[in-house]
């Protein structure tokens, strides 16, 4: 069996997602270009997150795509029979050859689970791990050792552009994108195409809608504890409260006024409770549906296009619909960019 790592999402994307949840971007997590070369604070942070606190959900943002050549058709079919599950993707790309995509969390769980499906699965993932960048291997093995000048591979991505959603205070920024179709492989393109987005300003109502598709993506949301801390620190005033709130764009002026008044009174009450010593985990139950937050989401593009199709047709929650339209626009731009077209 011969393996080659075609593309992957760098560690800095996972760090960015984690620091979004912990609201700790002031301490690190921001890189001009996504990279595996983390600063010491970020490597220690994500290593502690993964290997001490066991918060491996963030590792679902970090995907790898391999080309694998087998000695025979029999070896290929036998290996895929045992390895294939809902957490990985593979496509045949030639005689005795596949393209295989898997995320870091799955690699960890296959490596550290108390049960083993078979020696075939165990040996397959052990072999895959050898082809990962060194800092990825170190994290999987719980080693707090950071290699300097780590290679980032062929799939370097950089985008500063933020996209705005029609009628809502939502800004979407692509953090990473790769499509191994660029590597001249003959297989189903979308299964091995991935994108990570930062989405700022979505409402709690939006989150209720998107979790219906939680089998389609990896998602990390800014902790409500930290948004409540920000709320607690502001001075009273309509403009101050408004930055935390979202309202349906098609609401009538009198409806908007009444809804905002209800939302504002709710936030004032929450602020008073917090200042009176109430715990944030208790107070969060009083938050309005229009309360805004930030999420980092990674999609397999096959799943993303399915979500876009479902959420841009018929009677759909409008905030989600407008966001889906923008995500399709971003995806089109990313594909043009990779092919060398205009941004």
CA–CA gap between residue 320 and residue 326 (Å, rounded): 10
Closest CA relative to residue 173, chosen from 326, 22, 341? 326
CB contact at 8 A, 332 and 263: no
* Phi–psi pair at 24, nearest 5 degrees: -125, 35
Measured in Å, how far apart are the chain's first and last C-alpha atoms?
Answer: 39
How many Å is the maximal CA-CA distance in the chain?
70
Contacts 24+ apart (CB under 8 A), 257-261: 259/290
CB contact at 8 A, 1 and 68: yes
User: Mapping DSSP to helix (H, G, I), strand (E, B) and coil, where does residue 184 land?
Assistant: coil
DSSP 67-136: EEE-SSHHHHHHHHHHH--TTEEEEEEETTEEEEEEEHHHHHHHHH-SS-S-HHHHHHHHHHHTTS-HHH
Q: Considering 189, 311, 335, 337, which one is annotated as catalytic?
A: 311
Q: Which residues pair with 295 in a beta bridge?
A: 199, 221
311 included as an active-site residue: yes
CB contact at 8 A, 38 and 46: yes
Active site residues: 311
């Amino acid at each position: 069996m011969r393996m080659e790592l075609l593309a992957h999402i760098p560690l800095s994307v996972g760090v960015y997602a984690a620091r979004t949840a912990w609201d700790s971007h002031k301490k690190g997590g921001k890189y001009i270009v996504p990279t595996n070369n983390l600063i010491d604070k970020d490597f220690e942070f994500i290593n502690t997150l993964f290997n001490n606190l066991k918060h491996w959900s963030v590792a679902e943002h970090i995907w790898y795509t391999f080309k694998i050549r087998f000695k025979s058709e029999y070896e290929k079919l036998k290996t895929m029979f045992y390895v294939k599950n809902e957490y990985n993707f593979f496509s045949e790309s030639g005689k005795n050859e596949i393209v295989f995509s898997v995320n870091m969390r799955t690699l960890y769980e296959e490596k550290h689970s108390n049960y083993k499906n078979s020696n075939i699965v165990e040996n397959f993932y052990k072999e895959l791990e050898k082809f990962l960048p060194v800092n990825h291997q170190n994290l999987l093995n719980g080693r707090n050792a950071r290699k300097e000048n780590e290679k980032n591979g062929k799939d370097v991505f950089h985008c500063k552009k933020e996209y705005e959603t029609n009628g809502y205070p939502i800004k979407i920024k692509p953090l990473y994108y790769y499509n191994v179709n660029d590597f001249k492989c003959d297989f189903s393109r979308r299964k091995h195409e991935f994108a990570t987005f930062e989405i700022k300003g979505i409402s709690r109502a939006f989150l209720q809608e998107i979790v219906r598709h939680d089998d389609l993506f990896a998602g990390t949301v800014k902790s409500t504890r930290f948004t409540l801390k920000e709320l607690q620190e502001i001075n009273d005033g309509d403009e101050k409260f408004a930055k935390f709130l979202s309202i349906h764009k098609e609401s009538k002026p009198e409806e908007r006024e009444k809804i905002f008044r209800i939302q504002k009174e709710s936030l004032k009450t929450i602020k008073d409770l917090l200042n009176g010593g109430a715990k944030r985990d208790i107070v969060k139950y009083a938050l309005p549906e229009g309360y805004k937050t930030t999420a980092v989401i990674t999609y397999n593009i096959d799943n993303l296009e399915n979500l876009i199709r479902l959420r841009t047709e018929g009677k759909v929650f409008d905030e989600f619909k407008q966001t889906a339209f923008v995500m399709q626009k971003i995806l089109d731009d990313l594909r043009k960019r990779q092919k060398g077209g205009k941004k």
